[in-house]
Amino acid sequence: MAKKSNTRARANAETMATKQRDISVSEFFAKNRHLLGFDNPRKALLTTVKEAVDNALDACEEASILPDIEVKIEEITPPPSVAKPGRYRVTITDNGPGIVRKQVENIFGRLLYGSKFHRLKMSRGQQGIGISAAGMYGLMTTGKPMVITTRPKKNKPAHHLELAMDTTKNKPEVTIDIETEDFPKGTGTRVSIEMEAKFFRGKGSVETYLEQTAISNPHCEITFIPPDKANENPDLAETKLTGAPTERSPAPSCSTLTDNQGVVRTTEFSDRILYPRTVDELPPETAEIKPHPYGVELGTFLTMLNKTDEKQLAGFFKHEFCRVPPSVVKEISAAASSKGNSYSGQTWVKTIDSKDGEKIYNALQKSKLRSPPTDCLSPIGVQQMLAGMLKGVKAEFYTASTRSPAVYRGNPFQIEAAIAFGGNLPGDQQARIIRYANRVPLLYQQSACSAFKSVVDTGWKNYGLQQPRGGIPVGPLVVMIHMASVWVPFTSESKEAIADYDEIRKEMTLALKECGRKLGQYIRRRERMKRDAQKRDVFERYIGEISKACHHLTGTDTQELYDALLAQAKRRTEIADAQLDDEGKFIKDSAGKLAKADDVIILEDTDSAIEIDPSTESKPILKKKRIAKKSSKKRTTKKKSKAAAGLFSN
């Protein structure tokens, strides 16, 4: 039998060239969809809702409209087994400004198409990938096109389109394009995507995302209709509502959704879950800024020199960058000049080659420049964070802090933190950490996020909480951290964790410490009140017997002596009757609350128990014991006897 030949056909440059072709961006992400957050059916459902809601919030805020959003998930085919996905239809409706007809295909049918990538302005979306990637995932798993209905003008019919994406060309293919009246009154957009997915509740679910979105966006009203409620009819006994513009009845007022403490809470009805609006003001409008020189690399700088429309160097720095005044241009020109070549603000840009550009760039990086402007940022704010936490977290103590703006790589950013403590929160579990970037919740890759690492770096034992070494605190605590920036440094395209820059982690840690100091003050004073209340209980337990014994010995009136002893006990333990103001300070009279404390909220909750780290509370007692050991035994006994005798002395 003849042996098989081991020779193989050799490829040459010509044959290899015939196999090479362009790769479209949609074709790349179709094969690497995990980079966009579509790792598995569980996560795909969340990513789809997240991208659509983020776009709706951005559009409403830019059009100065208070957002009303409805998220509806319908189960079309139930999962055949626990391990396999089912088929769901996800529909998101908003009351935004709508989309003009000629832009619908590009927004929903092309990857890397949008208006936010080239702007240095705070927004939730950045890359122009999300919602079109969700449509691409639905097309790949079910073969069904994306359905878009939008009305940009309230007096005209809505546009109804069904489109699919050609992944080989990154172009949309419209199959249906008609006008319809089947849309709520007013402007807005409705997107419907059918996909294979898994619906679940709990950590990392759609419900958790919407809950956290409602906390960071208290000006928004969100209605969530999960699969188990999608076919339910509204209960006539309930107040009917949907927050989004649908055919249902109007939303109830905030007063109908308040609890017994007057706080507006998330409410679950028979046919939907309502996350009500608690603030009737939109976030401050942000302004677009020019790049800061510290955030521009050499290659980008040279490209800007080649493409600028400015004629002279001074105009180039003035219109292409921020924080480069004429005085700095003069310093840069002098520093970059040499004997054979000199520069000034009047130097023609077209005469500058790459070597000259590198000299100017190096001089620019060494110059002292002001930080970039911060009107491009829109932080949540202390009051809005407290309103959001009150709506979503049932606790006893709330506080928040907003740091001053800072800079990383020439990009301005601002850190905010809030904490909720006590109440109905579990005291035997690790603290819950809620992370945000530009008001968007981050639900995955927690340990890789700079926000999580800043919580670990904070010494929570100093504030009366238990904390294992290298871990997060244990106790009834919820920690919220928000980063606002014109460009958030995510660790991947799926935007699930913030990169660990030293400047960012430092600001996060400082914000957490500001909140921690207020929490520690509150816990220590609450514990002192609790100890004095226990002392009074002991006194009241025995003064009756003491009064009777004194009556038998001296004949003193029992009731008169009892009242005198009770008055002394109350005077010695008067802290037990004290009240704390919004700063955690003791109130001396009923009208003594400080109105200036806007960053703390305390709700009276007698059923909640405060967990205190024993090691923290024992420190002052140990110090007193050491002092007592240094003194003589006789003197120590005398002091104790005198203190015991003085409890009921006049």
In this structure, of 8-17, 150-159, 449-458, 534-543, the range with the lowest mean pLDDT score is 534-543
**Is the CB of residue 387 less than 8 Å from the CB of residue 216?**
no
Give the per-residue pLDDT at 127: 61
pTM above 0.85, yes or no: no
Any idea what DSSP says for residue 636?
A: H
How many other C-beta atoms lie within 10 A of the C-beta of residue 595?
7
Residue 578: band (very low, low, confident or very high) from pLDDT cuts 50, 70, 90: low
Give the per-residue pLDDT at 582: 47
Residue 259 has pLDDT above 80, yes or no: no
Residue 232 has pLDDT above 70, yes or no: no
User: Tokens at residue 611, please?
Assistant: 């967990």
Average pLDDT, integer, range 337-356 = 90
Chain-centroid distance of CA 543 in Å reads 54
Per-residue pLDDT tens for 587-597? 443 333 323 45
Give the per-residue pLDDT at 236: 37
**Is the CB of residue 419 less than 8 Å from the CB of residue 399?**
yes
Residue 451 has pLDDT above 80, yes or no: yes
Residue 609 has pLDDT above 50, yes or no: no
Average pLDDT, integer, range 622-647 = 37
In this structure, of 59-73, 270-284, 461-475, 551-565, the range with the lowest mean pLDDT score is 551-565
Give the per-residue pLDDT at 30: 81
Give the per-residue pLDDT at 610: 39
Give the per-residue pLDDT at 590: 36
d(CA 128, CA 149): 20
Residue 581 has pLDDT above 70, yes or no: no
Taking each helix axis from N to C end, the angle separating 41-62 and 130-142, rounded to the nearest 10 degrees, works out to 140
User: Tokens at residue 269, please?
Assistant: 């009805």
In this structure, of 19-28, 103-112, 167-176, 628-637, the range with the lowest mean pLDDT score is 628-637
Give the per-residue pLDDT at 12: 84
In this structure, of 209-218, 428-437, 441-450, 541-550, the range with the lowest mean pLDDT score is 541-550
Average pLDDT, integer, range 571-584 = 56
Q: Which residue has the higher pLDDT, 278 or 478?
A: 478
Element (H, E) at 642: helix 633-645
Residue 286: band (very low, low, confident or very high) from pLDDT cuts 50, 70, 90: confident
Average pLDDT, integer, range 222-226 = 95
Chain-centroid distance of CA 592 in Å reads 34
Residue 241 has pLDDT above 50, yes or no: no
Phi and psi for 77 in degrees, rounded to 5? -130, 120
Q: Does domain 394-613 have CATH number 3.40.50.1360?
A: no
CATH of domain 293-366: 1.10.8.50
Average pLDDT, integer, range 487-513 = 91
Closest to 375 (Cα-Cα) out of 405, 403, 401, 400:
405
Phi and psi for 500 in degrees, rounded to 5? -90, 80
Helix extents (H) in 184-262: 206-216
In this structure, of 11-25, 398-412, 494-508, the range with the lowest mean pLDDT score is 11-25
Residue 230: band (very low, low, confident or very high) from pLDDT cuts 50, 70, 90: confident
Mean pLDDT for all residues in the chain = 81
Which amino acid, one-letter code, is at 21?
A: R
Average pLDDT, integer, range 158-175 = 91
Residue 549: band (very low, low, confident or very high) from pLDDT cuts 50, 70, 90: confident
CB-side neighbour CA atoms (13 Å) of 284: 13
Give the per-residue pLDDT at 339: 83
CATH of domain 25-228: 3.30.565.10
Domain boundaries, the chain: 25-228, 293-366, 394-613, 618-650
Residue 243 has pLDDT above 90, yes or no: no
Residue 626 has pLDDT above 50, yes or no: no
d(CA 202, CA 199): 10
How many other C-beta atoms lie within 10 A of the C-beta of residue 394?
20
Rounded to 5°, the CA angle 11-16-17 comes to 150
Give the per-residue pLDDT at 595: 32
